[in-house]
């Protein structure tokens, strides 16, 4: 038998060594490089107004001759761009789409497109595949790349060192503010809105002429953001000035519309840049389903080749401006654009205001233009150097011809010319290549004139290169030309905030007449008039009684006064309708009263009229009238403390709606006093204690009060006193029983 082979020995795997490391070092060595890469190399734009993805795409198109050439398939452009941007074809194509004219995201599109590219204002309109679409650079890109072939910016190797790409593009206008840009990095974000090109050029020129131009002056020149989608911007100068100074804030945008009277239809023509038609349609559907848009019968998307249109059919007789205010409040037809001007300056993220951004761009542009001029100057100096050498030859052309003719070896022509005329090799090489036909008088004279012209041009260029004021003057000329050539009227209309009605919240409920019933025990009922006419006998708990029974409407506001000097605000529409045969809603629970707090009175109102007063009767015999307007608040507050004076408990409260009325007050001493509310003074302060009306004995108190004395007394005149304050009169035998029974 063959011997059994011995199994090979398996060496034990040595466990990895675990090294203790503080979390701070882990973050610094592993996480921070990732963070900085995202911030610097992906998400935050630089002073030229581009992120790396934009820059790589546009430079690829430029270097492939798409500045002046025909349209090229987008698939070809995407493939070529991957030599600079290896992050995938889908990401590159999405970047291309956003820069196109057809997508309509930019005020000044950078790519001239042909095909289906979707729209910025629609999330459902998708772009076609890159094999079906075509593109080339727009004419304005000539200003984006001005000077790039003249060493205006640094060129660096691409990711695999097979070619080079620019670190920045030498934009000859502040593209950073002209076209919008948004990016989300790690721990920071950027959201730069677009401004009108002509206004930005004027603002930049103003700063070039006077670096101390204030934000206020700049705001007079650059009126405000200008979006490709148009719409209306609600202009608040103080808010806008803060954005110009800090680079942070938000602006409110609202849709533009027109009303087609013939078809009774609202046509939305422009919407805020920050929303889409799908979001608007979704919200309209929800509102219509919930019955909150009863003025609207139908709505539809009517986007076509002519542009954006959203049609909203309305009922005949509908108040269109009021309906639009409701739609602005309830739908994204009014939206906000949040500004966050974060950008990279010299590789570091900074948050800058508009003026600071323009100053940084000016510094950048001066550097680019100086390098461009230096490049041109060096080329002219090289040419001048050649012509100066030629000039020496032309002084004795016969001698030059003799040297060339007598030279036996071709390789010695240049050295012999150098020795014969004291010129360098470059000059001699240039002369040796001149054609024989050019050795005529005209050629000689033209070259001499060119030497003189070149000398002047070089001197002028050096003067500009060395003088920052002259550089700025040249940049001003360029900006003026760009404004004239590419400037266009504002698309976004500015509406001053004072022109926008500060309308109250628009009600979205039906309005109809109701009966409001409030009991002393704190129960409230909202009864429809139809139900009320059928049965007005109220179901009450034992010992309870009705203290308020008033006509009202479903959209009225309600004020519930508590016995702890507080008032709770609510709306009639917040309560379900009930019947007289039910107890109703228990207000302390419904409105979350404080523990031990009960109800005193309820008031239903259409508006806070200054002619309406709340009359308070206190247990110490004092009375006061507080204007209803004292309870009006700018914000929708649910509870107000200090609704009335708490120096003495309140015995009763009433509403005086313009016309005075009589009140009968009862004391614990068996006395009564009838007084007209016209005798009670009005006090503007809610905490006012009022004046003494009913004079009481020491320790005495008013136990109750009721309007309409005739309903509880056979002879109300008995208790009326002309001089106040008064002790009133003792209750008659007839009143002492019946009145107390009705009041308690």
Active site residues: 132
Show the tokens assigned to 558: 């309600």
Show the tokens assigned to 588: 């302390």
Tell me the sheet residues that pair with 334. Answer: 254
Residue 187 half-sphere exposure, CB side, CA atoms within 13 Å?
10
CB neighbours of 7 closer than 8 A, spacing ≥ 6?
A: none
Show the tokens assigned to 88: 């995938």
CA distances to 539, 579, 617 from 530, rounded to whole Å, are 17, 10, 35
Which residue in 182, 74, 78, 77 sits closest to 120, CA to CA? 182
H or E element at residue 90: helix 89-98
Beta strands (DSSP E) in 39-154 are: 72-73, 111-114, 134-137
DSSP type of residue 577: B
Q: What gap in Å lies between CA 584 and CA 525, rounded to an integer? A: 5
Q: Let me know: does 293 contact 284? Beta carbons within 8 Å.
A: yes
Helix, strand and coil content of the chain, in percent to the nearest 5, comes to 35, 25, 40
Q: What gap in Å lies between CA 329 and CA 505, rounded to an integer? A: 8
CA distances to 18, 239, 395, 401 from 249, rounded to whole Å, are 49, 7, 72, 77
Radius of gyration of the chain (CA): 43
Q: Is 133 exposed, middle or buried (0-12, 13-18, 19+ CB in 10 A)?
A: buried
Per the listing, tokens 């109250």 go with 504
Secondary structure (DSSP) of 182-242: EEE-SS-EEEE--B-HHHHHHHHHHHHH-TT--HHHHHHHS-SB--TT--EEEE-HHHHHH
Q: What gap in Å lies between CA 536 and CA 525, rounded to an integer? A: 12
Q: What gap in Å lies between CA 716 and CA 672, rounded to an integer? A: 9
Show the tokens assigned to 742: 């009705």
Residue 557 half-sphere exposure, CB side, CA atoms within 13 Å?
20
Cis peptide bond upstream of 29, omega within 30: no
Which residue in 221, 170, 213, 222 sits closest to 195, CA to CA? 222
User: Cα angle vertex 440, ends 438, 443, to 5°?
Assistant: 65
């Amino acid at each position: 038998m063959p011997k059994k082979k011995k199994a090979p020995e398996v060496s034990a795997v040595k466990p990895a060594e675990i090294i203790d490391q503080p979390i701070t070092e882990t973050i610094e060595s592993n996480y921070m490089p990732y963070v900085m890469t995202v911030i610097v190399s992906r998400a935050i734009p630089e002073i030229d107004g581009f992120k790396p993805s934009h820059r790589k795409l546009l430079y690829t198109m430029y270097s492939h001759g798409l500045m002046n050439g025909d349209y090229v398939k987008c698939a070809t452009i995407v493939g070529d761009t991957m030599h600079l941007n290896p992050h995938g074809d889908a990401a590159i194509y999405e970047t291309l789409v956003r820069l196109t004219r057809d997508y309509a995201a930019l005020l000044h599109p950078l790519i001239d497109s042909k095909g289906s590219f979707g729209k910025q204002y629609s999330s459902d309109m998708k772009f076609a595949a890159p094999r079906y679409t075509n593109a080339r650079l727009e004419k304005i890109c000539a200003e984006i790349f001005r000077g790039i072939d003249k060493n205006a910016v640094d060129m660096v190797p691409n990711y695999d060192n097979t070619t080079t790409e620019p670190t920045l593009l030498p934009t000859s206008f502040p593209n950073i503010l002209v076209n919008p840009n948004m990016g989300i990095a790690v721990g920071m974000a950027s959201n730069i809105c677009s401004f009108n090109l002509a206004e930005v050029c004027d603002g930049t020129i103003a700063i070039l002429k006077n670096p101390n131009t204030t934000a206020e002056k700049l705001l007079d020149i650059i009126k405000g953001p200008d979006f490709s989608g148009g719409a209306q911007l609600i202009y608040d100068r103080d808010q806008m000035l803060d954005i110009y100074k800090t680079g942070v804030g938000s602006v409110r945008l609202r849709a533009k519309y027109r009303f087609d009277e013939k078809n009774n239809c609202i046509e939305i023509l422009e919407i805020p840049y920050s929303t889409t038609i799908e979001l608007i349609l979704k919200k309209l559907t929800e509102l219509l389903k919930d019955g909150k848009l009863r003025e609207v019968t139908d709505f539809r998307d009517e986007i076509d080749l002519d542009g954006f249109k959203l049609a909203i059919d309305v009922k005949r007789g509908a108040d269109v401006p009021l309906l639009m205010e409701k739609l602005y409040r309830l739908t994204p037809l009014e939206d906000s654009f949040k500004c966050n001007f974060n950008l990279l300056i010299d590789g570091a993220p900074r948050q800058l205001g508009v003026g600071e951004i323009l100053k940084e761009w000016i510094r950048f542009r001066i550097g680019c233009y100086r390098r461009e001029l230096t490049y041109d100057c060096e080329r002219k100096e090289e040419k001048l150097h050649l012509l100066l050498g030629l000039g020496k030859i032309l002084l004795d052309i016969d001698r030059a011809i003799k040297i060339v003719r007598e030279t036996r070896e071709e390789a010695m022509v240049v050295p012999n010319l150098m020795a014969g005329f004291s010129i360098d090799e470059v000059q001699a090489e240039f002369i040796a290549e001149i054609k024989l036909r050019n050795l005529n008088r005209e050629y000689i004279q033209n070259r001499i004139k060119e030497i003189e012209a070149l000398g002047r041009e070089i001197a002028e260029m050096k003067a500009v290169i060395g003088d920052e004021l002259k550089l700025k003057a040249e940049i001003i000329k360029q900006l003026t030309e760009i404004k004239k050539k590419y400037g266009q009227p504002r698309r976004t209309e500015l509406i001053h905030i004072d022109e926008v009605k500060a309308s109250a919240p628009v009600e979205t409920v039906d309005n109809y007449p109701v009966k409001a019933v409030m009991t002393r025990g704190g129960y409230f009922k909202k009864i429809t008039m139809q139900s009320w006419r059928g049965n007005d006998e109220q179901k009450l708990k034992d010992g309870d009684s009705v203290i308020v029974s008033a006509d009202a409407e479903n959209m009225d506001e309600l004020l519930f006064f508590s016995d702890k000097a507080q008032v709770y605000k609510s709306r009639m529409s917040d309560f379900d309708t009930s019947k007289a045969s039910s107890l109703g809603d228990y207000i302390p629970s419904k409105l979350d009263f404080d523990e031990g707090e009960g109800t005193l009175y309820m008031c239903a109102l259409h508006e806070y009229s200054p002619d309406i007063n709340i009359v308070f009767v206190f247990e110490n015999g004092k009375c006061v009238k507080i204007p209803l307007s004292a309870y009006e608040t700018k914000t929708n507050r649910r509870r107000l403390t200090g609704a009335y004076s708490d120096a003495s408990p309140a015995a009763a409260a009433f509403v005086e709606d313009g016309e005075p009325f009589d009140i009968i007050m009862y004391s614990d001493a068996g006395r009564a006093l009838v007084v007209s509310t016209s005798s009670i003074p009005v006090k503007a302060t809610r905490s006012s204690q009022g004046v003494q009306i009913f004079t009481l004995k020491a320790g005495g108190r008013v136990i109750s009060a009721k309007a309409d004395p005739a309903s509880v007394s056979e002879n109300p005149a008995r208790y009326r006193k002309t001089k106040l304050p008064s002790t009133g009169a003792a209750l008659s035998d007839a009143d002492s029983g019946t009145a107390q029974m009705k009041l308690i």
